[in-house]
A and B are shown apart, each in its own frame.
Chain A
Amino acid sequence: MIKVTNLHKTFNDLVVLQGIDIEVKRGEVVAIIGPSGSGKSTLLRCLNFLEIPDQGVIEIGEVTIDAKQYTQKEVHQLRQQTAMVFQNYNLFKNKTALQNITESLLITKKMKQGEANQTGEALLEQVGLSEKAGSYPITLSGGQQQRVAIARALAVSPHAILLDEPTSALDPELVAEVLQVIKAIAEKKTTMVIVTHEMAFARQVADKVIFMADGKIVEQGAPADIFDRPSNERTKRFLQQFSAPESVIS
């Protein structure tokens, strides 16, 4: 489904990814956790070539692409295998909620307007925003915008959805509604890779958790193993920050 082999990425002199290998099976939900600057988001953005890796092979759906040698056409095909949900939503500002969803259907899938609208309306209903179909992004709350963004990602029925810290920019009271939507999608066996700081959520929805630090995968496994029985010292230290917040304050 998704297979990444020996992925390397450097920004100028800064080494961000050093030899990442991951595999995601169909219908699997993978959560990537780790401290800031560990390369989680860069890894995710390499999967659709928004960041171009220096080295490595990425295989998603029917497309295999080698960072050493690729064409623009292959990049385009690779991007069509996935859809991405961004931290800052990135809804098309000049389009309504419904148009945000139908845009890719009309443009890349060449769907008829009527059919696209039906699909769009069904997806808006799925994320609980039917009544906002005609609203422009600026009039929506962060939580609502992110739910539209999730619907937009679902619209292209990708092989996998990549979520890059989908709740990190949200006000605390809006986080739950977005997580709920993601959870509902996960239950439908949608393949997802989520970079997140929501540990409880990762534990709840993920089939597999990957802990990254300093551009490497430190540890990966079932949520229960990673969260309850981490074997690596680095993982333990990282998770401790989340388990005992009171002790930090007092």
Chain B
Amino acid sequence: MNFDGLYMLEVLPTLLKYLPLTLLMAFVSMFFAIIMGLFLALITKNQVPVLHQLAKVYISFFRATPTLVQLFIIYYGLPQVIPSFSVLNALTAAIIGLSFKNSAYLAEIFRAALHSVDHGQLEACLAVGMTKSQAYRRIILPQATRNAIPATGNTFIGLIKETSLAFTLGVAELFAQGKMMASSSLKYLETYLAVAIVYWGITILYSLVQEWMENKLSKPYRN
């Protein structure tokens, strides 16, 4: 059998050097995606006039087009009409693209999570004299968060893997490095398996964190 297990182990440390960049892309994109997604969800849930229609178009576009196409539009396409975009480096463009795309997915998840909180909770807040924004901050959002975590976690795992698309813009990240090593050593299977193992490892670690979070947040709801 032509499989060099030792080589696979040897490339792992080199690949791991690119882990921080992958994690940076994932976390920063997720951060912005959550903020934008929450904003979009509040707009669609409360049917804010005009913004509501715009949000729907935005969500529809970013859910319906391939991430790769979105990244190319932002990095290669937009500078054509907005010259200031040409100063964007590939990493920033990737983060912007991934934030946009995932905010559209999160908007739908958050909207459903907000809907899952019983309307009586808001009424109870208003009835004791809270404003709507106080009600959202203290009562509705914390309850919606718990409902949103499993699906949000899925989106985040998807996002971690999508960061590998940044390689197509020329970002020297984990997958790009793997591709280069594979081409030079010609040990494709070993290298790509090592790359896969790194992604797998991140996802396993993240899943543990999510389990802990779910556990912590579900404390008030356990008998």
Chain A positions near chain B (C-beta within 8 angstroms): 48, 50, 76, 79-80, 82-84, 86, 88, 90-96, 103-104, 107-108, 136-139, 152-153, 155-156, 162
Contact = CB atoms under 8 A, between A and B. Distances in A.
Given A90-B120, A92-B139, A79 B220 contact: no
Question: Which A-B residue pairs are the 3 nearest by beta carbons?
Answer: A84-B127, A90-B120, A90-B124
30 contacts: A48-B126, A50-B123, A76-B131, A82-B127, A84-B123, A84-B124, A84-B127, A86-B123, A86-B127, A90-B120, A90-B121, A90-B123, A92-B121, A92-B125, A92-B139, A93-B118, A93-B121, A93-B143, A94-B139, A94-B146, A95-B220, A103-B138, A107-B134, A108-B129, A136-B220, A136-B221, A138-B220, A138-B222, A139-B223, A156-B129
Given A136-B221, A152-B128, 14 more contacts: A79-B126, A83-B129, A84-B128, A91-B124, A93-B121, A94-B142, A94-B143, A104-B130, A107-B130, A108-B129, A108-B130, A136-B220, A138-B223, A153-B127
Nearest to A80: B129
A4 B75 CA distance: 63
B40 to A, nearest CB: 23
Contact of B127 (A83, A88, A93, A138): A83
Nearest to B142: A94
B128 A104 contact: yes
A78 B162 CA distance: 51
Of the candidates B124, B126, B138, B222, the one having the most CB atoms from chain A within 10 angstroms of its own CB is: B124
Of the candidates A88, A93, A152, the one having the most CB atoms from chain B within 10 angstroms of its own CB is: A93
Contact of A153 (B121, B128, B130): B128
B128 A156 contact: yes
A84 B122 CA distance: 12
B148 to A, nearest CB: 14
A153 B223 CA distance: 25
Interface of B: 118, 120-121, 123-131, 134, 138-139, 142-143, 146, 219-223
Contacts of A50: 123, 126-127
Contacts, number: 76
Nearest to B127: A84
Contacts of A156: 128-129
B9 to A, nearest CB: 47
Contacts of A91: 124
B221 A93 contact: yes
Nearest to A162: B127
Contacts of A137: 220
B136 to A, nearest CB: 12
B63 to A, nearest CB: 30
A103 B220 contact: no
A79 B129 contact: yes
Contact of A103 (B120, B126, B128, B222): B128
